[in-house]
Amino acid sequence: MSKKDAADGREGGPGESLPRVVFDDFRSGRIGRGLREDFRELYRFYFTEEQREKLARRGPVGRFFHVTWNLIRALIVRLSPVRRVMLLLSLLFALFGTANYKVDELSVRLSLSPVAYVLVLLVLLLELKDKLLARDEIAVARQVQLALLPREQPRLRGWSLWCSTRPANDVGGDLVDHLELAGGNLGVVLGDVAGKGLGAALLCAKLQASLRAVIPECRSLADLGARLNDILHRDGIENRYATLFYAEIAPDAGRLRFLNAGHNAALVFRRAGLERLGASAPPLGMFQGTAYREEVLDLEPGDLVVAFSDGLSEATNDREEEFGQARIETLAASLRGRPAAETGERILREADRFLGDRRPHDDLSLFVLSRTGPGTAS
């Protein structure tokens, strides 16, 4: 378990007593933090952003009853028909399942509350069974996705490079990859599929496979963008698209060829100041026949390029504050001239410190390229 995992919660060893584990949970404050985070996740999952804005305008009492009713309704509606009937029966038995009968001098009290508890327990057991089966399938999907990620950090003479990705869930929709190309060149990829979870992960795998398949045949990065867009638009899912920042670099050269298809602006830190490499076209798969543009950037030794997914800039802490692009720009500017790994790890540490106990709500990915000069690599 990592240091961060150890800070979030300690797992009791096999020889540790259950009362001590429970006592340590309460003493450490993990119970309170966990409950707050669980309620936040319920709120975000069952209520859209528009609904949350409307609820914020209500008074505390009205908001409480509205949230409670809608959570109960969402729970019942999302169950299968059989489980829905079982849960409704349990509620009826719990509320109205008690009756008193008097026969001559004998009073009899009949209660169906135990039946209500059994029905609720049965629904929970069935839902838990489904969750465990889904978890096993997602665990396999996670192994496959990890196998598709680069096993080592990219290396190229004249450059310092570093990349990282962290899914918000067990699997994610961010693509971080690097490709060895003809002539010793290197392609670096940072993509972000709309949404997260298993659906985004599958589309992310398709994007990675498609990119690796078509790139040897592409005359330019504009051609690469057009081909990927056609593939995702033809075979994709409605309302699913992917942003992409793709760059090619050559050994011992300072020229960067890049394509930005709807992705966050990559940041370039020079001695003279900051430059943003914004998107020149919409995301891949959004519109049929979209034209894309290859762009060129010349870098001097010490110049730094930082590309990231919106999971970093939009990471939100307990006070509902975003990490923000301005914080990334300030931090990265102070690290210009440092190795790419040091820069990337420092940014992630600051993001972790900013989030605190709050779980990230989106996949978080980062790619750092630093021009070191001819004959060097790190």
CA distance linking residue 280 with residue 265, whole number of Å? 10
Could you tell me the mean pLDDT of each successive run of 10 residues in the chain, 378 residues long? 36 59 69 76 81 85 86 85 91 82 70 89 90 82 79 91 89 90 92 84 90 93 95 80 95 93 95 92 92 94 94 89 93 92 95 88 92 71
CA distance linking residue 305 with residue 267, whole number of Å? 6
The pLDDT of residue 4:
37
CA distance linking residue 354 with residue 315, whole number of Å? 9
Phi, psi angle pair for 243, to nearest 5°: -90, 155
Least Cα distance to 204 among 157, 237, 230, 247 occurs for 237
Put simply, whether the predicted model's pTM sits higher than 0.75 gets the answer: no
Least Cα distance to 263 among 325, 213, 205, 216 occurs for 325
Least Cα distance to 333 among 275, 256, 293, 253 occurs for 275
The pLDDT of residue 29:
67
Residue ranges with strand state E in 116-171: 159-166
**Strands 186-193 and 242-249, sheet pairing:** antiparallel
CA distance linking residue 119 with residue 117, whole number of Å? 5
Question: In order of start, what are the domains of the chain with their CATH numbers?
Answer: 17-144 (no CATH), 152-371 (3.60.40.10)
- Which token pair is 169? 């869930």
CA distance linking residue 33 with residue 38, whole number of Å? 9
The pLDDT of residue 63:
86
